[in-house]
Structure 1
């Protein structure tokens, strides 16, 4: 019987070769898949070239008897602990390659070939460990790679390398030809010459030729260093003396570890043929039609593009299970692994994930098949539970789930997975990779309805989810989820995971078909962990300052009420729209009053601003009422409410950022809502003063300057505006000169109003109200604006035409905003949608750009060594950071660079992105 022959495939080398060999491709779910396709074809060809039957159940003769693909498990290994600059200069992998890594692991397993990786070790080390173990067992070994580091392992007649790119075997003679030394001396050569790619320092001035000559002459690295004082070349001699420690460090960095325990025994790598079913299922799921044709004929290719039907069944569930034994937990974990993707959801005792405690976890592996794993359900009293139910130890469950949830080859699916990610991170578990059905829906259907689970289940599955109040009650009788009986908890929680998985089957395939992959993969999905960390960090607030402001605002509100009542000729409830309308229009005779269907006069902001332009009593009441409203809202929403929002443990306020609410892609925040603090007013600034940095720290505020106007100049192709921004000119002064022939305080102010109003599709009526002129003059100004900047008029016309035809508009990153009102029968509804359409691509692109900046920021700060600086808030076009005082000046240029270049390389702008930055002890001082 032939001796065992182990083939070890350097999977990382295959991946990058596959990525660069093929143009960008997507699979049937819209996920980037060019590297996956290339890797699959390369692995298939390797198996064929090694004369192994691809679809046989009978072990063949010749070729490898054992085979495994070896991959890198993580970017950091023990070498980073040895030298923190190891591989520090390597750029991150291309963004469209990152989501392909887990799919490549799935591809390998689809061939029924072991896929091995080990946290803390590089793939080269794992290959070295298996090589030494196989050689010790008397086996022959072939490493499928051309990596120079692995050439250290070559042993004549026992271990060689296979370079599949050039179709040649590499042995000891190749090492001597290329490096001038034997394989066992190669590590010394590599240590001397260093490696700029891996940031192995080596010795300055020593390249491959010099390193080879030194080892040929002296035999070993230590011998070279010992002989350094005798070397005749002065520069080389001094470099070897000065950098001897770096050379020794480099030797350890390039030394391959070969004595670690094997993740899988050698026998587990035996080749027994490749069953066709797993491979067929994988190729079908990916939509690789040509490979399916190769596998089993053209019929399989037809199946590859047919829609999945497993989620089209009626919503019937029979397999919801409560997991309370370790054996059952293990069974569900194996089912999740076998599925390759599964839905996960957490149940807690509080909606605020920062305050919440983990109560249970649900999993769904197939539509209709889900479980609930209770962790912290307690005795709720006679009404609900007679005694504390049996459940697994939370530490045991989390320890067993951790490898599953962190396995890069398995896709985790969640609905608003940010919440679950925070809950798991609080318990020492990460989730990667993941998909989020809420974000999938948001990127596909923004503007067509809500993206919460209940809305999505009704819209896509025609299913009404169990309501939270049905299991927890309402009002005073409401209990937290840890008090819910396990049968009810299981039905509710398992359904959440089940619905999430079913929604994924419906939504994910649409991503590619509807051109939403780009915004999902580049903008929204990678933002989730960034937002999660910001929410966990929170921001410090000064309770005493808030209390002082509340008191001050209360006095001012009382004063305003007295002034308003005097101007109104009698008291009334200012906060009542009905009474305010009657005072303005009936008592004080304001013109232009309009009543809604309820018979109540409109007193919205626009109406009060219009009335306030006059100089009579009604105008005074309108202006004062606006001031009263704003101050009352700021007091109730911020200075009062923020005191209640301070976390008792952290002493900080942890706002929740909503990623799928604003129609244009902007983030919003709740509990508290920090988006509505006035930006330019003195009152708003004073509230920001209550947001403070801890002792020894400062807050940094970085704000995009006039980003909407800059994007308008680019998107509408306005040469004058592009040139003005490029030169750093004042855009409002330029507009004033173009429209009014002169620049002064009044014309610049009017120009500023016009610049922004035009971008929101304002009508002549609306502009007249803003400027305090009649409609004829307002229309003349609009006409003059379009005459001076014709690109803006063209942009508006084309955008309106697009929304009328398609019902949606897109940002530069491909984000869609659906505006169904553009096809409505009523004129008013159509015009409103058209106005939204004009601004949505601009505002949405702003949102995409700042999100891109946020995604890149943590890595940029870490790379700069700014370990104490962290991002806390995103408000409108502004990012707020907390930094140690010693890092502030170093952090600011990093923040500026990331924000200014956030659009690149995916979107190239014809105008620069300006960023204003400041710092101080409070947000108000920094802004």
Structure 2
């Protein structure tokens, strides 16, 4: 530990800006973002660079390698404790535009602080204050003793602290920053830096400042008027009209900015810099830490410097990483809960999982919480066991804690920015916890990490991931909850069994995280995960929680109408068949069509029953077989009734009065979201009946439904990706792209293209994205296969770039086994080289489609991530409710509809930026109405 040594005129205090060191260590060297510890895959790049930087600084300082610095007598490293400080109370948007700390860096922060202590240095941080405030306070305390202070940082925010006794040192430029250097660079005295920054603002910290006032203008104004207050009182003396008006308009912003940039020099710090005295360096302590991190080069350097002998080779031993479910703890006291929370704070990571009594997050009760701060250490906190008559008397010493007490204890660690929370399908847990006003941040989701790294290679559920990555078969849910008639909800499971099952979930999730994080880094997929998938989780959580209102009466009327029409078509089918039969029985339908009526085309399944699929019935109906046509119509109405009108009424939540769908984030090959329970993405929109169903999706009184839809986004992306000049020009000029395609294909002037020609071109334009064949096109257009083949041949002849894109995409897929979107998302195609023609053909169609549809999915997700903040900044009260293919659905106050539509369009059309500037513009159509259908 540092020793106490009173500061005096001969003392020299070094204060290192540890938070700046961390980010410089991580972002300054590419190796810092890829290096992992071999034993367990822990990211250690930033830790390594930090240790090397600190070792060099100490060596240079003690050897007086930097001119005029002098040898330190006292030394401390200062860190930010959390992102929320007193400045957020002054201005809630302070630092609001800062991007979230990368998860792999977040994992390393606790180790960096441990490294600081291994160097024998104080590690300072304080809740509610920034590292800059702590350094400002300690530099003042040192100055009061006549001691020198060297602040190791290049941050301009700290230049206000520069005095004859306090200087800054930029280790990257190897340069001291004193009063003269501040005057030379900024044109003002260090004491004026506060007011200079108040005028110019700071975009990185979201300090508003005065628009249009840069550093030079601010320095000129301060040179003329002396102080900010004098300037604002004498604006009438400013000759430039625009500058004078801007200063008068934004005077309050300037004063607020001054409060934000002024560093606190009276932080109630618990220690005095007297306590930071350097003691003889303990090389062995640092070596022990470096060996644990597996930093061989620096370990040798420190060992040599300290004259330590190299350790004798150790016998190879295998670390016991076996998953032992009988070793997990059941937490029944607050002391035990606080102990595991403390372990999480120390380790900097906590796997979290909730156990509930329902798969529907909006209807689920929180039955228990699972926690794991390190592999092998996991616990279960039972809360509501005892349902279904479960007798807890036989459970030794089991006293369930109160839910509110447990959540109150967990809230600080669940929002602690220094502790990374790990979850599997965390969106579900966030919905459950939001009902208890519990937030979780920051976090990683192993399901989404697997989805980014392994999309197309298998499922992303925890059980499957455990077997795939850990070689461990988890306890099946059916083993503890039963199956069939004996199935029980989790609150009915005995606590001992529940602990083994639930705590294993947390332990396995934590272990998976270590594996998958390494995989993301190795494959260069961290950006896709951190900028597209992970930020979407709270957005989807809020959408699911908000739900959408449906008109119960309208649905009931529609359901009754469907029932009446079904009965009519059922009778018509009986009449056409000449007898009554079970119209819902495929077997009886087959017997009627191919047994009794002897119609051609009948095929039997392996069980001997006739096939009666929709395609076959469609073909028979087209041939004029009335009974087939009636059965088809009956089936369509039956599906609409059961899947939508009846199911939607049943899905109305008893408390909210709204329908809450569940969005699956890791279900599709292309990155698209899917919807279930109920599925709101497959409501047919091209039929009158489907449109009637969407009429039942309504807004609350005083509100409207706003639907915003990308226009032909996949075709636009095809034009960009395949670099098709004709299509790019058409989209830029607003030309009817289907008419243009028809004009090119059929060599007809665009103003003379017929309706059939345009329809054919449209079918090919959209079908080509999905690898449509001549057979498929002939079926859709109702033309001969040979003619359809000629259409496709003519299409490729007119747009050779599309053929080239398809060929190049398939070549790359065969070589690499995957395809990528413009934003780097991968879709793996394990059957792309299959010897089975049907498997290979399907994979080829997927490979052609996935880069386009996947890029569209990425664009939509990027828009969704930005949308809540964009609306909030404009003071708009709209809520995003649904995502359906290329469409976003909102509910907003009627009087805000036009402004909301404008902002929504801006965000959606600009979603690719700044990562990518597309060669074609994206176009979004946004309309508002009383119901979803009318908003189109």
Instruction: State the TM-score, normalized to the length of structure 2.
Output: 0.86
2:62 aligns with one of 46, 51, 59:
51
User: How far is the alpha carbon of 1:179 from its aligned partner?
Assistant: 6.3
CA distance in 1, matches of 2:262, 2:53: 29
CA distance in 2, matches of 1:282, 1:565: 79
Residue aligning to 1:648: 654
User: How far is the alpha carbon of 1:785 from its aligned partner?
Assistant: 2.0
Do the aligned residues in 1 keep the contact of 2:722 with 2:801 (CA within 8 Å)? yes
Q: Residues 801, 83 of structure 1: CA spacing in aligned structure 2 closer, same or farther, 3 A cutoff?
A: closer
Residue aligning to 1:546: 555
Aligned to 1:821, the other structure's residue is in SS state: coil
**Deviation readout 1:565-614 (Å, 9 max, x if unpaired):** 33344333333333333444444554433333233343333333344433
Q: Residues 565, 102 of structure 1: CA spacing in aligned structure 2 closer, same or farther, 3 A cutoff?
A: same
Do the aligned residues in 2 keep the contact of 1:31 with 1:517 (CA within 8 Å)? no
Do the aligned residues in 1 keep the contact of 2:832 with 2:843 (CA within 8 Å)? yes
Residue aligning to 1:65: 74
User: How far is the alpha carbon of 1:659 from its aligned partner?
Assistant: 1.0
**Deviation readout 1:611-663 (Å, 9 max, x if unpaired):** 4433x22xx44444333222211211111111121112211111111111122
More deviation in 539-548 or 788-797? 788-797
User: How far is the alpha carbon of 1:15 from its aligned partner?
Assistant: 5.4
Do the aligned residues in 1 keep the contact of 2:349 with 2:374 (CA within 8 Å)? no
Residue aligning to 2:310: none
Aligned to 1:653, the other structure's residue is in SS state: coil
Q: Residues 887, 294 of structure 1: CA spacing in aligned structure 2 closer, same or farther, 3 A cutoff?
A: farther
CA distance in 2, matches of 1:864, 1:232: 32
CA distance in 2, matches of 1:542, 1:248: 51
Aligned to 1:332, the other structure's residue is in SS state: helix
Do the aligned residues in 2 keep the contact of 1:32 with 1:96 (CA within 8 Å)? no
CA distance in 1, matches of 2:573, 2:685: 26
Q: Residues 696, 841 of structure 1: CA spacing in aligned structure 2 closer, same or farther, 3 A cutoff?
A: same
Do the aligned residues in 2 keep the contact of 1:189 with 1:212 (CA within 8 Å)? yes
Q: Residues 764, 271 of structure 1: CA spacing in aligned structure 2 closer, same or farther, 3 A cutoff?
A: farther
CA distance in 2, matches of 1:791, 1:205: 47
User: How far is the alpha carbon of 1:871 from its aligned partner?
Assistant: 1.2
CA distance in 2, matches of 1:291, 1:913: 52
CA distance in 2, matches of 1:237, 1:651: 54
Residue aligning to 1:257: 264
User: How far is the alpha carbon of 1:751 from its aligned partner?
Assistant: 2.2
**Deviation readout 1:481-518 (Å, 9 max, x if unpaired):** 23332211111111111221232233332223334334
Alignment of 1:89-128 (within 5 A): 92-93=98-99, 100=105, 103-104=108-109, 106-112=111-117, 120-128=128-136
CA distance in 1, matches of 2:339, 2:92: 41
1:873 aligns with one of 882, 888, 892:
882
Residue aligning to 2:862: 852
1:596 aligns with one of 592, 595, 605:
605
Residue aligning to 1:449: 458
Q: Residues 832, 884 of structure 1: CA spacing in aligned structure 2 closer, same or farther, 3 A cutoff?
A: same
Residue aligning to 1:144: 152
**Deviation readout 1:181-204 (Å, 9 max, x if unpaired):** 665555455546666765656678
Residue aligning to 1:492: 501
Count how many residue pairs are aligned between Structure 1 and Structure 2. 897
Do the aligned residues in 1 keep the contact of 2:818 with 2:826 (CA within 8 Å)? yes
**Deviation readout 1:219-265 (Å, 9 max, x if unpaired):** 76556666778x69696999887876555444433332333433777
CA distance in 2, matches of 1:133, 1:496: 50
Alignment of 1:719-758 (within 5 A): 719-742=725-748, 743-758=753-768
**Deviation readout 1:789-813 (Å, 9 max, x if unpaired):** 2222233333344444444333333
User: How far is the alpha carbon of 1:854 from its aligned partner?
Assistant: 1.2
User: How far is the alpha carbon of 1:727 from its aligned partner?
Assistant: 1.9
Do the aligned residues in 1 keep the contact of 2:422 with 2:444 (CA within 8 Å)? yes
Q: Residues 757, 576 of structure 1: CA spacing in aligned structure 2 closer, same or farther, 3 A cutoff?
A: farther
Q: Aligned-pair RMSD on alpha carbons?
A: 3.8
CA distance in 2, matches of 1:86, 1:845: 33
Gaps of 5+ in 1: 54-60, 298-307
1:816 aligns with one of 820, 826, 841:
826
Aligned to 2:437, the other structure's residue is in SS state: coil
CA distance in 2, matches of 1:278, 1:539: 57
Q: Residues 919, 510 of structure 1: CA spacing in aligned structure 2 closer, same or farther, 3 A cutoff?
A: same
Do the aligned residues in 2 keep the contact of 1:21 with 1:38 (CA within 8 Å)? no
More deviation in 451-460 or 99-108? 99-108
CA distance in 1, matches of 2:248, 2:740: 64
1:506 aligns with one of 505, 508, 515:
515
More deviation in 270-279 or 812-821? 270-279
User: Is 1:759 paired with 2:769?
Assistant: yes
Q: Residues 662, 50 of structure 1: CA spacing in aligned structure 2 closer, same or farther, 3 A cutoff?
A: same
CA distance in 2, matches of 1:596, 1:791: 43
CA distance in 1, matches of 2:632, 2:335: 64
User: How far is the alpha carbon of 1:427 from its aligned partner?
Assistant: 2.9
Aligned to 2:361, the other structure's residue is in SS state: coil
Aligned to 1:532, the other structure's residue is in SS state: helix
Q: Residues 834, 584 of structure 1: CA spacing in aligned structure 2 closer, same or farther, 3 A cutoff?
A: farther
User: Is 1:831 paired with 2:844?
Assistant: no
